[in-house]
Amino acid sequence: MAALSLTHVTISFGSRPVLSDISMQIEAGQFVGVLGPNGAGKSTLMQAILGLVRPEAGAIQVLGRAATRGNAGIGYVPQSRSAATRLRLRGWDLVAGASNGRRWGLPILSRAARRDVDRVLDTVGATDLAHRPVCELSGGQRQRLLIAQALLGRPRLLLLDEPLISLDPQHQRSVVELAARIRREAGITVLFSAHDLNPLLGAVDQVLYLGRGHAALGTVADVVTGPVLTRLYGVPIEVLRIEDRIFVLSGRIEVERGAHVHDA
C-alpha cells in the first residue's frame, strides 16, 4: 500500500498556484527529502496531507484513505516551534503534553500513555532530557523532544517540516541520522523538508522537488539535474557534484546557500 498518493491535486493561494495538477505516489517505508525554493509549497503539501488545507481539485490519499484532520497514523513536527524555547516545562512534560493529540496541555495520563512517553524519549535518545527544563536545552535537543512528540501512538507516516532550521551542521547531522534510524527500525515513512539537499544525502531514498506549481519525484540522480531544476526554479540552473556535496547554482550564485541560521 502506498503511504501517500496525490491525483491531479491543485492548491492555490489567491491567484498563485502552489501545487498545480500534481500526481505522484510515495511507497510505504520510504525516506523522502522534500525540497524547493521558498514559497514552493513544501509546508502547504504537509498541511494538505494533514487535512488542514483542502485541494481545489484532485484527491489526496494518506495511508489508504482520504486525507482528513486528526489522522492518528501521521506524526508531525511543524516548522514554527519558537514557543518551545521559552518553556520552563521539563522535557518529559513537553512530550506528555501532546498525548491524546493535545500539544501543550498537561493531561493526567494513564499508565499505558506514560509508558508511551518513556518509549518515544528512549527512541529519540532523549531519556536524559526528561527532567531538564526545555528552555535550557540546545536547538538539537529540543528538536529531539519534538520528534518524540510526533512519535506518540506509533504513527506510520512522519512529517518533518524544516527540522534543520537554526541548527548547526553537527546537530543537522544528528537529526537526519535520527530520522533515518526511526525509518529503518520502525518501518515508518518519512517526509523531511529542507532548503538544502546536502545534509540529507546518504539518508534519502527519493527526493521530491517542488517549484512554480510543479513537482519532480525520484532518485537524487534523476531529479537533481540542470534540466529538471531549471523547470522548477524558472531560471537556468546548473548542478555541480564535488566529492560528496551537490551545489545548485543559478549563474554563480548557490541558490540554496544561506537558507539556515545556525544556533546551538
C-alpha cell, 42: 513544501
| pLDDT tens, residue by residue, 215-263 | 999 999 999 999 999 999 999 999 999 999 999 999 878 887 644 443 3
User: Is 222 within a domain?
Assistant: yes
User: Is 209 within a domain?
Assistant: yes
Task: Give how far the C-alpha of residue 220 lies from the chain's centroid of Cα atoms, to the nearest Å.
Answer: 17
| pLDDT tens, residue by residue, 47-85 | 999 999 999 999 999 999 999 999 999 999 998 666 666
Domain count, the chain: 1
Q: What is the mean pLDDT of residues 23-40?
A: 95
User: Is 81 within a domain?
Assistant: no
% helix, strand, coil for the chain, step of 5: 35, 30, 35
pTM above 0.85, yes or no: yes
Identify the domain containing residue 7 by its residue range.
1-73+158-226
User: Is 94 within a domain?
Assistant: no
| pLDDT tens, residue by residue, 93-149 | 999 988 865 444 556 789 999 999 999 999 999 999 999 999 999 999 999 999 999
Residue labelled with grid coordinates 540522480: 221
Residue 180 sits in a domain of what CATH number?
3.40.50.300
Residues facing residue 157 across a β-bridge: 74, 189
State yes or no: pLDDT of 264 exceeds 70: no
